Amino acid sequence: MPTLAYDRTARLPSGPPRMTFTVRALLELPAAQTVSLTPGVGEERTIAWAHVCELPEPWRWLGRGALVMTTGLGVPETTEEQCAYLDGMHRAGIAAVTIDGVMIETPFTTAALTHAAQIGFPVLQTAHEVRFVTVAMAVADSVQQDRAARVQLTEQMYAALGEHPDDAPIEDLLSALEPLLGGPLALLPSGSLGIPRTPGTIQRVSPNVVAMSVHAPGDPELRFESTTPINRGLLQHVVGIVGSALSITAANHRSEWLHGSLLLADLCDGSVPSPPAQHLVAAHRVEPPYLLAVLQNDSTRDAIDRVHTVFAAQRTPALATTKDGQVVVLASLGQDLDLALEALADAETRVGVSAAFSGLDDLESALRQARSALIRNHQAGRVMRFEEHETSSLFLPNNTEQLRHIARQVLGPLQTYDEQRGTSLTQTLRVFLEENRSWVRASERLFVHRQTLIARVSRIEKIIVRDLSSMEDTAECWLAVQAAIGCGDLEPSDVVTHSSDDEL
């Protein structure tokens, strides 16, 4: 079979060589001189072999894919019996029945042919001068040719995989496979078509479209559309070929992912200055504006492996690392990132995403924002964005920078004190206010003695120059704390660093 040239801008060819011999193919075969007594009915049924049978119950001897040839000796006389005769063959999966139009003594009645059309069973008639052995040989020859063509086509498909460079886009491979299959292929993220994640499963999603789950990193889905009969055997080969190409690509990216993981870990720890960091991140094709995502899963290793495979499958540049039992991902803002995060959010994974930011010196704040969103994301399989859970207030703005300005007016000295001495007095203030200034409840949450808490609050009042016994000062501090949480400068969780008494 000649190799088909393929131009992505041109129309797809009408289809590959026929891979199955059908009733329509028999009707189109000049040597068979066969016509349909039920025009248009069951013409897509596959004929695997042909056999003469004059018995009244051919389904007892012949099975699926058979073409029953008869001179009519076994055809019953009454319409009711003829309908039962046709029903029996149809239930057995027999492809069709063809009769000799001259020798048959009791032709099929109009009512029987109508019934055959209703159940979708084709009734054919072969010219008297054509011997049944000629029809049988024509079927055998066509089936043999189809098998040879299928083998040759399969070889061409695997040759396309061999010629596909490891670093080339997967679309190039799909483009090479499309003319061989006779229809367009599309690789989609897992869950896009709603099919089971069972490798090898082929499911029809519309009359001319089937979808398959690919056994490859990220469990992507392959969509195939064709107006001609779909050969499932060839599609199984295509699924294996695409899966192999994706797995090779993911393996080649592991070294790049490892370097990116180390870089992002250093960025999260603040050990890389911002100006050189921007160039290092750009080398991984991650450009501003950025988004930072945090993923929570019972298995951190499984989660980061899935991050790698999903982003590799979708060819979305990103850096990923693990930190404090979570997976942290840095990528460029855009629809590709949104699709990747949606694919990662499953029944076992929650995702929190920061607001967009342009400078890597804001990465620490973005990490707090992403974790803040994750804390409020109580539903597995959902992506929660920082903007979605911003606390609305009659007294606070929604703008992140304005919130940060308000917070630092009150809490700035306290945050500076914490940064210089490694203490957590800002979190102590938050807990104390959240517990309505209850010494007992706040000390229990902070795991400190009541007298220790009293001493800490006294220190806080001196640093921020506020009196927490005053309602006015307390309200001001409360709004500042909420502003700090809103802009991501303060963790909204109960996880407080346990500090010793020397932080006083």
Alpha helices in 269-356 (DSSP H): 274-282, 300-313, 335-344
What's the pLDDT score for residue 389?
A: 56
The residue-averaged pLDDT of 483-487 equals 83
- What's the start-to-end Cα distance of the chain, in Å? 84
The residue-averaged pLDDT of 73-91 equals 94
Give the β-pairing of 326-332 and 318-323. Answer: antiparallel
Q: Which domains does the chain have, with CATH numbers?
A: 23-139 (3.40.1390.20), 150-247 (no CATH), 253-389 (3.30.70.260), 400-503 (1.10.10.2840)
Write out the two tokens for 185. 């292929």
Distances (CA, A) of 221 to 175, 178, 345, 381: 16, 16, 16, 18
Band the pLDDT of 173: cuts 50, 70, 90: very high
- pLDDT of 190 higher than 50: yes
The residue-averaged pLDDT of 425-436 equals 92
What's the pLDDT score for residue 295?
A: 93
Side-chain half-sphere CA neighbours of 124 within 13 A? 30
What's the pLDDT score for residue 376?
A: 73
- pLDDT of 251 higher than 80: no
The residue-averaged pLDDT of 265-283 equals 85
- pLDDT of 503 higher than 70: no
Could you count the other beta carbons within 10 Å of the beta carbon of residue 389?
Answer: 16
Distance, in Å, from the CA atom of 83 to the CA atom of 88, rounded to the nearest integer, reads 9
Contact between 116 and 31 under an 8 Å Cβ cutoff? The reply is no
Distance, in Å, from the CA atom of 117 to the CA atom of 421, rounded to the nearest integer, reads 87
Per-residue H/E/C for 159-203:
HHHHHCCCCCCHHHHHHHHHHHHCCCEEEECCCCCCCCCCCCCEE
Q: Which residues of 174-190 are buried (b: 16+ CB within 10 A; e: fewer)?
A: bbbbbbbbbbebbbbbb
Band the pLDDT of 228: cuts 50, 70, 90: confident
Distance, in Å, from the CA atom of 1 to the CA atom of 457, rounded to the nearest integer, reads 85
Strand partners, 97: 68, 123
Distance, in Å, from the CA atom of 58 to the CA atom of 230, rounded to the nearest integer, reads 29
Write out the two tokens for 206. 């519309």
Band the pLDDT of 498: cuts 50, 70, 90: very low
What are the DSSP E strand ranges found in 377-441?
A: 383-385
Distance, in Å, from the CA atom of 221 to the CA atom of 191, rounded to the nearest integer, reads 8
Per-residue pLDDT tens for 350-408?
A: 899 999 999 898 898 889 888 878 877 777 788 988 877 555 556 777 677 888 888 99
What's the pLDDT score for residue 423?
A: 94
Q: Does the global pTM surpass 0.85?
A: no
What's the pLDDT score for residue 493?
A: 56
Distances (CA, A) of 206 to 120, 193, 214, 227: 20, 11, 19, 11
Higher pLDDT, 161 or 495: 161
Contact between 204 and 38 under an 8 Å Cβ cutoff? The reply is no
What's the pLDDT score for residue 348?
A: 83
Strand partners, 290: 332, 357
The residue-averaged pLDDT of 311-332 equals 88
What's the pLDDT score for residue 300?
A: 85
Closest-CA residue to 12 (of 214, 228, 193): 228
Distance, in Å, from the CA atom of 502 to the CA atom of 498, rounded to the nearest integer, reads 12
Closest-CA residue to 363 (of 424, 419, 319, 306): 319
Strand partners, 331: 291, 318
What's the pLDDT score for residue 486?
A: 77
